């Protein structure tokens, strides 16, 4: 990382309400806990399916990062989710979907007559366009 011109990179910080109902997790390893949490938490539905292909702990920011890739073979879109706490997750979108509006998860969910760009736009509106100020300008 260092290049901000690979493709379109969107950032979206969201806060997810914890489910006190199932918060009976034992005192297992923190990592295990967070990891499990990321999986349990319902990430924002972009209307696309993502496949997790990796996860790592970024020391620079002291947060966990999960790497997702669009299920579509013709799609180069990638999603990256990072979180420090179980209630604060940040989703970063990379690239654009080639299967315009071809939502596999929610087919015809409100006549998606728009393209991927619109989807991102919607996300920005929902999550807020604070992606510009959330820059973690490496302190070093």
Partner DNA sequence: AGCCTTTGACCAGCG
Partner DNA sequence: TCGCTGGTCAAAGGC
Residues of the shown chain interacting with DNA in the complex, contacts defined by CB under 7 A: 1-3, 32, 35-36, 38-39, 49, 51-56, 58-61, 65, 67, 69, 71, 78, 80, 140
Q: Please report how close the Cβ of residue 38 comes to DNA at its closest, in angstroms.
A: 7
Q: Please report how close the Cβ of residue 32 comes to DNA at its closest, in angstroms.
A: 6
- Comparing CB distances to DNA, the nearer of 51 and 126 is 51
- Comparing CB distances to DNA, the nearer of 13 and 49 is 49
- Comparing CB distances to DNA, the nearer of 2 and 110 is 2
Q: Give the Cα separation of 3 and 10 in Å (integer).
A: 14
- Comparing CB distances to DNA, the nearer of 104 and 114 is 104
Q: Give the Cα separation of 34 and 88 in Å (integer).
A: 11
Q: Please report how close the Cβ of residue 15 comes to DNA at its closest, in angstroms.
A: 21
Give the phi and the psi of residue 86 in degrees, each rounded to 5. -70, -10
Helix (H, G, I), strand (E, B) or coil at 111: coil
**Residue bearing tokens 């990430």:** 43
Q: How far is CA 26 from the centre of its chain?
A: 26
Give the CA-trace dihedral at 67, 40, 48, 134, to 10 degrees.
-60
Structure tokens at 130: 């604070």
Structure tokens at 30: 């923190």
Q: Please report how close the Cβ of residue 57 comes to DNA at its closest, in angstroms.
A: 7
Q: Please report how close the Cβ of residue 114 comes to DNA at its closest, in angstroms.
A: 25
- Comparing CB distances to DNA, the nearer of 33 and 112 is 33
């Amino acid at each position: 990382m260092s290049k901000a011109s690979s493709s379109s990179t969107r950032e979206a910080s969201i806060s997810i309400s914890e489910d006190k109902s199932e918060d009976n997790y034992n005192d297992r390893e923190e990592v295990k806990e967070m990891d499990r949490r990321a999986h349990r938490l319902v990430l924002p539905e972009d209307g696309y399916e993502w496949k997790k292909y990796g996860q790592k702990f970024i020391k620079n920011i002291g947060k966990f990062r999960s790497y997702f890739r669009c299920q579509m073979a013709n799609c180069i879109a990638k999603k990256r989710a990072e979180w420090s706490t179980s209630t604060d997750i940040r989703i970063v979108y990379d690239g654009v979907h080639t299967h315009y509006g071809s939502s596999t998860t929610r087919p015809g969910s409100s006549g998606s007559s728009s393209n991927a760009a619109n989807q991102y736009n919607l996300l920005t509106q929902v999550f807020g366009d604070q992606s510009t100020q959330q820059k973690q300008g490496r302190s070093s």
